[in-house]
Structure 1
């Protein structure tokens, strides 16, 4: 049996946007179900995100610690951020986020995995990159504000991230997915088997 997600779109008879924020909004669609009934579905409309699992020569992952108000926690995470504009090249966005949040650049980039982190309540799509050949950026550091002004940074062995995820000590979805995915890659066909950094991304099509 082939297991593969497939694109499909059920009929929408009406739609409204009861809330619109600076970056995201909430939409209500009236969707025709297979039995012919119509059901309301509320979901967050999201521009899409990128995340970067940056791995150094000693198999340590670059992580940051940031306050996340909705869950009332300081979470260890990997660098991540929103796509700024529709059609933005996700690699460029990932390089920007890695620089802005950690002042690091990478010489080797590959797609680690693509995910829908909460498809029952949001259309957010995230592309997680693997970045290697790390070095400190020469440009001036990016000015921080709000939650980022309190951000910590560290380098943690990949195996420690996997352990923390499995025992319930680490909870950020991109960190957990990225660490487990890379562990599977290293135990399997290796980094060379990963998709190139400019691989197509049907969830958020881009040019160049």
Structure 2
């Protein structure tokens, strides 16, 4: 359980919130590659005991990668849940062998796009769907990205790397033409940071 689940907001040392639920049991109801469905046995603030199911997955990194010319490296990937090819940012799970989050960001960029970055820098962390998942996404900027590695995909990844003009992609994101949540959030937060 995270500190937030125990009532500690954003890592501060405040007393437990009267909105907090008490977790007195937990188990995995379903497991598959990439995530589990976890069931927590909880006691609500009014004393009601019930259960709560959510997607339980490891932390992930999301990379906004720029070439030396200022273009952005994207992935076009088949997304079965929505039945179409999606254009988004390279992203993936933090693995046990990763020494830190930057290592994971560099690895995912290379595996999915065949590009390696001169520099990587973390710029934000978000919980994109904390109403039904414990996902934590760590966003990185990568600069000086060159196609110098070999793309190595998982068995269930269908990915085509593409390099596009960043301004055109940003404009498409801000116009609502890009539906990928990680890309939309990453570009929007990057632009807000630049202002």
Q: TM-score, normalised by structure 2?
A: 0.81
Partners of 2:144 and 2:98 in 1: CA distance = 27
Compute the RMSD of aligned alpha carbons.
2.2
Q: Does 1:6 align with 2:17?
A: no
User: What is the deviation of 1:101?
Assistant: 1.3
- Of 180, 189, 192, 1:181 maps to 189
Say which is worse superposed, 98-107 or 86-95, in terms of deviation: 86-95
Greater RCO (CA < 8 Å, at least 6 residues apart):
1
Alignment equivalent of 2:84, drawn from 70, 73, 76: 73
Deviates more, 1:120-129 or 1:50-59: 50-59
| Distance across 1 between alignment mates of 2:67 and 2:153 | 24
Change (3 A) 1:21 1:88: farther
**C-alpha distance in structure 2 between counterparts of 1:146 and 1:94, whole Å:** 20
1:122-146 Cα shifts (integer Å, max 9, x gaps)? 1111101000022232x5x244464
Structure 2: where are the runs of 5+ without partners?
1-8
Q: Alpha-carbon deviation of 1:84? A: 1.8
**What is the rounded CA distance, in whole Å, between the counterparts of 1:125 and 1:144 in structure 2?**
22
Larger mean Cα displacement after TM superposition, 55-64 or 120-129: 55-64
Do structure 1's residue 40 and structure 2's residue 51 form an aligned pair?
A: yes
- CA gap of 1:159–1:55, structure 2 versus 1, over 3 A, is same
Cα offsets for 1:93-137 (capped at 9, x unmatched): 111111111111111211121111111111111101000022232
User: Who is 2:172 aligned against?
Assistant: 164
- Secondary structure of the residue that 1:62 maps to in structure 2? strand
Q: Using structure 1 for the length normalisation, give the TM-score.
A: 0.77
Instruction: Give 1:107's aligned residue.
Output: 118
Structure 1 unaligned residues grouped into runs of 5+: 188-208
Matched residue of 2:112: which SS?
helix
What is the Cα deviation at residue 43 of structure 1?
0.5
Distance 1:84 1:6 in 2: 24
Instruction: Give the Cα separation in 1 of the matches to 2:102 and 2:121.
Output: 9
Alpha-carbon shift at residue 67 of structure 1 (Å): 0.3
